[in-house]
Amino acid sequence: MRILILGGDGMLGHQLLSSWQGRHTVAVTLRQSLSHYVRYNLFNQENSIADVDVREFSKLAQVVEDFRPDAVINSVGIIKQRDDTNDAVQSIEINALLPHKLAVLCEKIEVRLVHLSTDCVFSGSKGLYREDDLPDARDLYGRSKLLGEVATDGAITLRSSIIGLELSRNKSLVEWFLAQQGIIWGFRRAIYSGVTTLEMARIIEHLLTQHPNLSGVWQVASQPINKYELLSGLLKRLPELDIEIEADDSFACDRSLDGSHFQQETGYEISGWPLMLDELAQQIQERTHCA
């Protein structure tokens, strides 16, 4: 299968490339020149299309048409942790408008589109949200991502959340955690139902190969876990870290999703946290040894 990944230097994009490039013909788009990414030993002339700004849609459309993929994965987005999240123009342009432009393009050239949305379309006041619950995000990020959800024929939106290693930005939960020393706080009332980037790579590949006609908005969710338990589980697998986690009940947010509809439709059973944390800890240790 020929797969084009938009945002190859992002947390999910680079994991998709790493996971799939041995089994599929995969290429990624990169924002900067290829020389900028040499130190990662991942991107090359064969698997990367450099200097692609997704805001220049005519150029992006030409990239898609030239590569002639069977599927496009849109893993580009202005995420909540970035400084430009409150830049309304950029957030709306990339999070809200771009997915719909891609959906129109992909439908025209008969290419499948997989777009990634977020649990942040919900406020976190309730938890175990279903697909038919009314999204109630109050911030620009959540609202812009909601506007970007696509459900046309040939397009599928996966509403979920991911954790994993980054290449350079170091804005995510895991990268923040790895940079800490001493005592940190783990929120026991912050409930999470996302998956690791490695698990998401398996999920998307399953969709592409086993469910070619599935479209619409689908929630992908693991068994809910609180952030204290999640970080404690990761620390248990990385005893070399100089970190102590203390429980904190001062902050409450439950954006957990009900992913049962997706699992029933696809037959895909989301991995449990013991396996996902085992794999994540192994990735962290491998990166440390290669540094």
Q: Specify the CATH number for the domain of residue 206.
A: 3.40.50.720
CA–CA gap between residue 219 and residue 213 (Å, rounded): 17
| Contact of 168 with 36, CB cutoff 8 Å | no
CA–CA gap between residue 169 and residue 166 (Å, rounded): 6
Confidence (pLDDT) at 63 = 99
Nearest residue to 75 via CA among 147, 2, 3: 3
| Contact of 40 with 108, CB cutoff 8 Å | no
Contacts of 40 (CB under 8 A, 6+ apart): 14, 167
Burial of 90 (0-12, 13-18, 19+ CB in 10 A): middle
Asked whether the CA dihedral 146, 150, 151, 156 is positive or negative, the reply is: negative
Confidence (pLDDT) at 193 = 99
Question: What is the mean pLDDT for each group of 10 consecutive residues in the chain (291 residues)?
Answer: 98 98 98 96 98 98 98 94 72 98 98 99 98 97 98 98 92 95 98 99 99 98 99 98 98 99 98 99 92 62
pTM above 0.85, yes or no: yes
Contacts of 49 (CB under 8 A, 6+ apart): 27, 28, 29, 30, 63, 67
CA–CA gap between residue 102 and residue 151 (Å, rounded): 12
| Single-letter residue type at 42 | L
Which CB contacts under 8 angstroms, 24+ apart, belong to 30-37?
37/9, 37/167
Q: Six-digit token pair at 36?
A: 């900028």
CA–CA gap between residue 278 and residue 286 (Å, rounded): 12
Q: For the chain, how many structural domains are there in total?
A: 1
Domain span including residue 90: 2-290
Confidence (pLDDT) at 169 = 74
